[in-house]
Structure 1
């Protein structure tokens, strides 16, 4: 082979990559299209003549893969979290104030924020290793997405190889794939010419294009990518500020939004908001708001995260599009918790890119506030550009024939009474009861609507994951009184299912098998499946990872639950009340008796062991006038709860700096026998769980056997699901990653393991088959 051919191919690739960058990223084309086409044709001809010189990062390799049968799952090594929203200047200022409350020494009026438009597209992750694009993935649920590598390779402004030098060995770039307005209009015009269905809006068009199983179809769609952050960064570093990090990504060939600005304080953010609100209509792409991020990455680390969102960033949404239409009727729906919710039935109207015929009215208090009546003309808004809601009544259009909305006295499904909920506010001065905004059917599982919704939630993919039990099948099971609680699902037989409409031999066998397979499930999914009010996936995961066993979760007192991450007192009471409810307890017991076996981490989380001090306990006991400082004084003085409970006024008066209000508050509590018993019970539970301050001495912490190790799962496992294997490895302290790198400790390879196995072998990483994994798990007490 002539060396000059190889050199010419490399030179052509560098030229084409440079022109692509100037055209797609900088929007500054430097040569005519005809000249670009000539260079591309020359490169393609040389590569066809010398196929041994073709590499994956060549500009000619963006398209060419065959259609795939489906998308593989990708586990995000760092979760792709959502952002909290602000819809007003007051909410934005409150966000900045919260930051100031946490960063005591920071002047928030001078605090810098990186600001940029919030593109209305699809969030994705791009992974580069040694400068080469190796994987593209959707955000999915934030923890698990879909592998769309072949499709993202077709997007012209995504570099297959990073430009310049100095990039980290592993660099995860996060951003938005979107469709510019001009490209969207051209796509729909072409569809109309072909008499094909058009897309409703650019976001749907972008999402649909990116999830095509045939990459050649994606390649024909006018998609663009704009990055807004990074994820995993290994073997290198980025600048200390968010804005400078994005500028560095631009130097490496990735597009960032040219409207990005750095401003100071809440007022700087609001001024940027006003400017972009005026400019919104003239932008070449759709945006649904702006994103404000604390620019200093060190401060970002200090601020941290809540369960699903960073504390250092917020999305400030633009006012949603609004239209006027007629309210034809109000119907009442019953949810799985018994909430009776009004739903507006509207004359269909096109709002924000979709046709809306239903809207939320939230509750009867909202109906009273709006003074909405059946027959009114109302203003409909897609709140947050997602959920349609009625925001205003057009009273000048009233004819006098409108009818008031009346709450039914009895459940529209089962006829049971409808009661208004009560709000209980608990504090150091006791508890205050007020009327809640929600009305509930008291029929519980005797109400078919609640039972159906509870079962639909129980069998859903993120809960027990019982495939085949869809809404229609559950309707039949409930209506024929074959199932009266989730536990009854595990009593169903094939013969019973065959009596139902639409069930045949194979489908009945499959459902019975799916039900049987669901008997083994991770503890967090089991907790989520129970449908505890206010407990979503994140809270269920916190309960599982923190307390370790179902038994502890069932026994935990509300005050103890508030020591767990991101669980407040009201949610703690919901969890405790649910677990203590006689009916719920019987359902859980029945599930356990029917051999439903939640896979438990087992141990209390290491960070909780011995973590509660005596002062913490005193502070948690809600003594009027006793805050953290007073709790510390009492702990230092009395040392034990027994001594504190036996304290008298003289002993309390002798404590320096312990004021009369705190003294009187404590004496009032000490005279309350029920309070004293509750305090004793809480301390005993801290001992039983291993959270008591003495537990750190009695039970020294031990490192988990796989602590500090990184494992990767690949291929199909026969005896374990991926989720089960992941949970068991995590219970032993391992981090379970989605890709193989030099830092990977071991790879578990099932059937049809592919590139991850090959890379592990190339790097000399330990590889285990499923049998070896099961042997390891059994030796560490994590057997099936």
Structure 2
């Protein structure tokens, strides 16, 4: 029996540490909060009964996850502890009883929404934001200041006010559901992996290396707790401090309440259990804190949690229904995505008929069989997801769901690239959804933005044989008589469409490159490639290594672009588009001088900057008379250095005694 207990403790420890790594480091939720907490409680109970088997690396002694290696690691002045949590009313009442036993009956609580986002700690000195640090492992976290500065609701500098010279304020970074859906749709259109929920998207965004990319993703932040030296001399309670930080310019959540009795707390919990779906962002529970600071100190802490606070966590909404079938969707990049077709069921206020199955790995993990009774969950997931099977209701002798080996649309053998979970159909020239998807992508608003054409138009023209390749769009003017015979295509509609096609020829090279639909090449990557190589011929001539050397490109993207541009069919298509008059080179515009303060000086830019892209900084320098060069020499006047600058450049500049300046120094030189 002891051997079984030891084995169970070891298994739970390994399993929960893996879940923690996925959640905190990789920003990936692979298990529901409820299931995680139940396993953690089981492990805590076993370790208490059999301490000799407790692993030194047990998740019961940890707050968060490991530190990523991408950012500077900063130690928290005040540890970022996690909260004890519960899923039932009785444990809330027991928490209230414990508190009153220690501090008496004169107690009030602050009830706050528990945001489903990324915890952050902000440090201000003299009213200026100095550091932003993630939770990390609770004692130290990643410094992500430049990324957090892109969040509009986080003030960089406070107005004059009665705040401490130095203080720390903590909160939660999150993404509103509407922004999540829009950005996820954009990722889907670009053929890159989508995020499961807003929390993962927000966490993944904050850990990006380029603040410019972070700024393109609309994050938000609520602040909810203040730390400072001698805080208790300035404020008597948490509620008082939160009202103060609001007056200093911080965004706090309006749905926060003072409660006196446990019944008021439970009413608050129940109210938001039903009303949370009306919010624009996700919450997964309620946080209850003892209001009075002196009482908080009297109650104290356990090793990992404050005794004066607890979180009530809502169970993710889960329903049972029948799996009718699994269908497979083929996207424009050839990715084959399985979708579960369900017996209609009401979930979180909407009728659910379909749920995502993501990929073949997920089908295998669930061990799905035909006609299974499945658990469907929404919770923090925007898209309903099958999270398990009720094996007790499984009909005997039913066949397992087998992921297809051939494309469900064209019958081509599917391929799976090393390191990817998704299967692809390689028949891009003969697979209907891929052809139509590429046509629809090409005419999109952020691509060629062809007015008078839409997704339905592309479907219709494909069915009629008018379009097979994107270059065929520019031959439609030769088929006007055929177009006039189509329903809903009057002469004016045809004229508008042909005008839109003609105007699209003026779109810049970066838009054309994005519109080609190269796998892994989104709007930003297309722009960086176009600006770096200037001309399609130079891009075609470049090696994969040369492409990967461009900022933010990397090996996987470079391989995809290289393979695309060395496919004879693609080169033929590009040739037809060039003949049609599309732009395949950057048109260098004459720089309009805004001043001559940098005249006669040469500059080289290296690294990443918080407020400028390198292209914007170069344009600024040239517009004030400066000259950009591509290498370091003794004749270089200034090296403009940002974060992540290569050590070899820095060493060479120091050896040649080239002055090293920042983007702020450039602005000062211009202003002077």
- What's the TM-score bracket when you normalise by the shorter of the two chains? 0.3 to 0.5
Answer 1 or 2: higher relative contact order, Cα 8 Å, separation at least 6. 2
TM-score, reference length from structure 1: 0.42
TM-score, reference length from structure 2: 0.48
